[in-house]
Amino acid sequence: MEALTRVLSKYVRVTKNLNELNAQASELRDNRRTIELDLAALYAHTELPNSIQLKESEMMFSVKRPNQWKKGWTLSKKDLEQYLTEILGEKGKEVMGEIVRRHEPKLVGSDFDFDLKTTGSSS
């Protein structure tokens, strides 16, 4: 039990550190999004270049203008089911059932997974 206590203590410490870093990363993403909105406002009302070589940071800044690029896409289970039903009617539900039947076994975890949550008590 002592070995488990030591390992759990490390696990808690690392999890707390990750939570703190994730909170910082979330704040940085929010800040970046605000700056992106400022950039979008500038580019919407001013003729500016689509790419700029940033020599100091050795980076390239590039702009993707509205309606001139495609986002990467994912398809949720719900959307897939809706599309299949719209296209194939009742047969769409059968097809979706078969997709789920074939795909769900791939979602079963083959190793341990651990979770750490606060219990709400202060003791």
Got the DSSP string for 43-91?
Answer: HHHS---SEEEETTTTEEEE---TTSS-------HHHHHHHHHHHHTHH
The predicted structure's pLDDT at residue 122: 57
Domain ranges within the chain, ordered by starting residue: 1-71, 74-108
Cβ pair 88, 80 in contact under 8 A: no
Mean pLDDT over each residue of the chain, to the nearest integer: 94
Could you tell me the pTM of the whole model? Answer: 0.70
> Which pLDDT tens digit goes with each residue over 50-92?
999 999 999 999 999 999 999 999 999 999 999 999 999 999 9
The predicted structure's pLDDT at residue 123: 52
Residues 6+ positions from 56 with CB-CB distance below 8 Å: none
Q: How many helices (H) and strands (E) does the chain have?
A: 3, 2
Residues 6+ positions from 92 with CB-CB distance below 8 Å: 81, 83, 84, 85, 86
